[in-house]
Structure 1
Amino acid sequence: MHISDGVLSTPVAVGTTAITAATIAYSVKGMTEEEIPKTSLMAGAFFAVSLISIPVGPSTIHPLFSGLLGVMLGRRAPLAIFVGLLLQAVLFQHGGLTTLGANTMMLSIPALISHKIFCRMTDKSVFLRGALVGALSVTITVGLLIVLLFLTDPRFGEGFMSVINILIVGHIPLVLIEALVTASALQLIQKAKPAMLVTE
């Protein structure tokens, strides 16, 4: 999802940018040359897929796949997300530069959580774990978006047809779609090339 320039208050934009800077530093630390091709490939895939967007209030609904990125890249996922979002903002005006930190944070945190969950639930099938992280990553992202909007202006949550309620309802189909697609993709990767999955 992309939050446009001017939506978030200055303190929220600055705070999320600081969190994202720390997350990117964590993501880049210790990165090896061998990790660059896969990270670049996933950044390109994320860039292309998440260009598909439907405007909903101050944000958009589009494929996220942060759960898939998290499982595939581990701690490198925030770097791929940041690069994809930066290129979208500069080349296509999707999102914004002042909200780049917020947009990156909203996807990076679910990606890192998804990776931890996927790696720890080794007693479950890859399909089940993939479905869980696919659904959970969207849910966490929407939750973070709601928090940022509410911190900016509580009026985003006022009324039955509030922006926040519309965003929640609008993302319910995406939760189901990403659960199925992530599960299927990871199951296929696990069978074809299991070495591509980051397990630590």
Structure 2
Amino acid sequence: MQVLFIATQLIFASFFQNLTDTQVTENITMPIPSGFRPMTDDEIVSKYFTTKKPLVLYTDESLQVDLGVNQSVTQWAEKDVEIMASFQKSNIYNLYDDVQVISEGIKEVNGKQAAYMEFVSTIKPDENSFRDDGSIVKYTYIQYIIVGRHALVFNFTCPAAYKNEWQETAKKIMDGVSIKGKIK
């Protein structure tokens, strides 16, 4: 019986990462998996094509599992979260060759309305490329929260092969986001 209990605990532990509440900006606190660290500027540039640096980007030791927070000024009001979610969903479908939605909707996260979308995306290789690297398949949990005139985007991404290991943790991270005060 004790062997069964220990085996169950090991399996349970492999599906739930240790999370530590972390102050990621002056106004945002969220649970971060132990072992994650902020990405360096060079790592961000090598992995992500972006014109605006995220507020914060964390990664695991393997540099394959990432957690980021972005902020932008928006014309959307907090009451427009459902409309914004529809707009963002269209953007996601335009970014990838294939999107398989796992879950999506509007929920309350620590007193704020949040739109979320959980999906597996595929980017197929360029047919004209000299290299054949195969398709890139990723699991993503993305969450949008409007605060004042700012849209906050919380994004968890990992290879789709890691989805079962990280899916529950991604949900706990997103459900643990806390925003206090006004966003500057």
Same fold (TM over 0.5): no
Which structure shows the higher helix fraction?
A: 1
Instruction: Please give the TM-score of this superposition, normalised by the length of structure 1.
Output: 0.25
From the CA coordinates, give the structure whose radius of gyration is larger. Answer: 2
Which structure shows the higher strand fraction?
A: 2
